[in-house]
Every structure is written in structure tokens, then in C-alpha cells.
Amino acid sequence: MATKPNAALPKTRPRLRGEPDHQEPAESRQPIDIIRLASLCLTGLLIGVNDITYPPPPRAASLESFLVSSARTIFPFTVACILAAAFLDPIVRCARFPPSSILALASLLIAGAHASALTLPSSWSQTVPCAVLRHLLLGVGNTLSLTIATLSSSRTTTLGLLHGTAALGAVLRTAVAASTTADSRATMMIPGRKGQHLAVLVLGLATAASLLPSPRPDRHGAGECGRHPKGPMHGDTETQTHRTHTPQPAPPPPASRPEKPLHRETNAQYPPPASRITTLTALLALAHHGTLVALPAGLVSLSPSVGEQKHIVHVAAAAFWTGVAISRFFMMLPPRREQHIRAKQAVVSRAVLVAAGCFLLLLSCWLFLTWGMAGHTTAAAAAVVGFMLGPVYPWVVGVFKREMDEDEALSGVGIVVAFGYAGEMLALLTVQLVAHLGAPVVMYVVIAGLVGGMLVCWKALIEDEGGEAGAAPGVDV
């Protein structure tokens, strides 16, 4: 009789300080949903391949031709992205669709836009109304996919997977552009622009097919917008009944963070108000996306081999996005000890800030001293810079999602996505204008300003998220 309680002791040991509640490990130890991870990878790949805002050659024929082509492609695409992100909150709340259905609809919009380019006659497909309508559909599809998939990624590892595959899609897109520029007969085994439309069409249909037949769209975390917006918003009443073991009566933020220390100077609770977090994150997204677009073109503008090898622009962009993808995939490595990783995040974040600033300063000095780089050196420099800047945006989005209230997360992420696409368009216009004027030094000053603004916003977010001196910025891992 006395041995039974002792035998049960190893199974019911007391919870250590800082250890998650006994309900959380049961949820985190659920088997990996392969279909969900595959659909997340396909969504990220589709976003990266479909994004049309890659840097054009820095020495274009004329500024007028660039503006005319942009009026048919880049401007409608960006305007659709901004409008879709701005009205995403009321649309999703009124539609009451599960997130997997919204992602599937976005994939079908992208596939339909590319299918129209394949099926319509060339006399119709090349007209201004058809081109504008096609890129409007592409912008709406990209925004829906990026916003909902970002909100569906409940952990830093899945955020790294989503944005890493998006960067991988950008590598494929720029590699196709480079091969097309170098040799019109070699376009990734599929000749011509029709092959690119066909590839994106197949990818969009595959993404939609991986999302539609899911029997449990919101149980394991992605259908999973379910963590941030309320369940009834998505018509997710069944999943609410499955989660009866979670503390539903109390709101999640007070339950997970019962006490919030006061700031030493202002005696106000941290994190700061949602408006400040949203503003800082949106400005960082604008500067970050602008940097991702302008940096490859800025490096290439100082390369003496541009006149001899026109495709070096796309090669440098592909190398840059390769570095971004590799660094984002490193975010998928799960930490062994949550307390250990949280304690080091403040130190590591500040160390990365200092390292990025020093590296960019040395790179700037080297470029100004040598005044020119060979093609392979340009690609290597772009890859290194991309590797260092890659994790910034997913990391900040993870912090942003964790600190936002459930009701504010959808509109907040939509604002961040809209500012990101606006930064891409502004960077494209700036790059083309400066290249047309023939002033690469001005371009590099603009890039340095974008990087500096991004790092300032990042530092402010780290300090606000950390609160007091001993606290470390935590990210859901």
C-alpha cells in the first residue's frame, strides 16, 4: 500500500519556476502536421515567386519607359497590396471564413491571374486594362497570403519557415530573370515567359489543393489564425469546443502575463501602447523592404562589370536573397531551453545590431575607397549583407504578434504588410531615378539611410519589449 504513492511520484513532480504550465507541453508535443508544414512552405514559395518587385537593371534606357511599364505592373500591384492590407480587417471579420480557406482563395487568385496571361490572346493580354487587372489580382493574392500566413505562424520556427521559403522563391524568380537576360534560350528548363506563368499557375493550384481538403483547419496552429483573432470571427466554433482544456473565460494576455513591471522612469506598464508598437513595426517594415529591394541594385551600381554583363544585376539579387533565405531558415532551429534562449536574446539582439552597423560601415568605406567591384565580389557582398539582414523582419513580426491584443493583431499585421509593399515601391522608384541621373553615391546614401532607420526602429522595439534592464525580449518559440 505504501509503494503506490511513491511509484506515482515521478509522474507528478512539482512544476519548476519558469516552466510552462502542464497543459502547454501536451499541446506542444502533438505530432507534426506534415500537410500543414507543406502548405506553409508552398504558400511562402508562392509569395516569393509571385512578387514582381525585383530591382530592375540600374541603367535603364529611359526614365519614361520605366514609368510607363511601372504604371502597368508595379503601381497596380502595390496599390492592390496596400488596399487589401488596409481593408483586410473588416473583410475577414465579416466573411467568417477559416484561415485555410482564405489562403486557398488567395492562391487561386494568383493562379487565375497567371492563367489569364496564358489563355487570353496576346492582343488582349498585353493591353493596359488586362495588365492592370492582372496585377491587381496578384497584389490582392499576395497580401492575403502573406498576412494570413504570418498570423497563422504561431511560433518563431514557423515564421522562419514561411519567410525563408518566400526568400527562396525570390531566389528562383531572380535566377530565372538572370538566365533569361544571359541567354533567352535557357530559362530554368522552361523557355519563354509563358513557362514562368505556367510554373506559378501550377504552384498556386498545388498550394490551394494542400489547403482545401484539411479536415482540421484550425487545430494545430495554422488554420491558426485562430491564435490571434477570435474564433467566431472565422466561424471556428468547432475548434472552440475542442479547446475546452484551455483557460477560455479569462482573456489570454492577462492569463499569460499576470504582472507587468513598471518602467523605471515613466511608471507606466510595458509593453508600450499598441499604436507605438504598430508605428515602429510599420516603419521598420517600410525601411526593411526598401533595403531588400535597393541593396542589390546599389551594390551593382558600383560594379564596373555592369556594362559588360547585364545579368549581373539579377545574379547579385539572387545571391542577396540566398543569404536572406539561409539566415531565415536558421530561425527554425528549436531552442533546447526556453529560459536560456530568452535570457540571451537581449544580448544577442544588441550584438547583431552592433555587428550589422559595423559591417555596413566597413562595406561603405571599402566601396568608396575601391570605387568598383567585380561581378563575383558584388554577389558575395550581397549574400553576406542579405544573411545579416534576413532574420530582422521575421523576428520583429514575432515580437509584434506576441505583444498585440487578439483583436488588434489582424489589422496591425495588415498595416505592417502595407507599409512593407509601399517601401518596395518607393525603393524601386528611387533606385531607377538615381540610376537615370547617374549618381550612384546618392543611391548608396539612400541605402545607408534605409538601413539606419531600420536599425533605429529595431533598437526601439527591443528596448520597449524588454522593459526594464534585466528583462529579455521574448519570442514565442
Instruction: Determine the pLDDT at residue 47.
Output: 83
Place of cell 524601386: 428
pLDDT tens figures, 133-153: 888 888 888 888 888 888 777
Residue whose C-alpha cell is 493562379: 111
Q: Residues 88-104, buried b or exposed e (16+ Cβ, 10 A)? A: bbeebbeeebbbbbbbb
Q: Is residue 242 part of a domain?
A: no
Residue range 436-465: mean pLDDT, rounded: 75
More reliable by pLDDT, 254 or 324: 324
What is the pLDDT of the chain when averaged over all its residues? 66
Q: Which of 164-178, 205-219, 253-267, 421-435 bottoms out in mean pLDDT, i.e. has the lowest? A: 253-267
Percent of the chain at pLDDT exceeding 90: 0
Quick: pLDDT tens for 151-196. 777 676 777 788 888 888 888 877 776 665 544 433 333 444 676 7
Residue 16 predicted with pLDDT over 50 = no
pLDDT at 473 over 70: no
Entry pTM: 0.67
Lowest mean pLDDT among 167-176, 195-204, 292-301: 292-301
Q: Does residue 45 form part of some domain?
A: yes
Residue 180, pLDDT score: 58
* Range in 59-68, 76-85, 99-108, 410-419 the model is least confident about: 59-68
Asked if the model's pLDDT at residue 415 lies above 80, the reply is yes
Is 263 inside a domain boundary?
Answer: no
CA 233 to chain centre: 24
Asked if the structure places residue 244 within a domain, the reply is: no
Of the segments 191-205, 218-232, 255-269, which one has the largest average pLDDT value? 191-205
Query: Among 388, 363, 395, 383, which Cα is nearest to 323's?
Result: 383
DSSP H or E segment with residue 416: helix 406-437
Residue of 275, 328, 343, 380 whose CA lies nearest to 160: 328
Separation in Å, CA 436 to CA 66, 75, 118, 430: 10, 19, 33, 10
* Overall average pLDDT of the 283-312 stretch: 69
DSSP string, 24-68: HHHHHTSPP-HHHHHHHHHHHHHHHHH---PPPPSS-S-HHHHHH
325 has a pLDDT exceeding 80: yes
Asked whether residue 278 is assigned to any structural domain, the reply reads yes
Tell me the longest C-alpha to C-alpha distance in the chain: 91
Q: Domain containing 148 — which CATH number? A: 1.20.1250.20
Least Cα distance to 49 among 189, 162, 200 occurs for 200
pLDDT for the residue numbered 29: 46
Region 47-75: mean pLDDT is 68
Q: What is the DSSP letter of 233?
A: G
In a domain, 202, yes or no: yes
Structural domain of residue 63, as residue ranges? 39-213+270-466
* pLDDT reported for residue 23: 46
Highest mean pLDDT (candidates 232-246, 348-362, 431-445): 431-445
Distance CA 159, CA 188 (A): 28
Please count the structural domains in the chain.
1
* Any domain includes 284: yes
The amino acid at 164: G
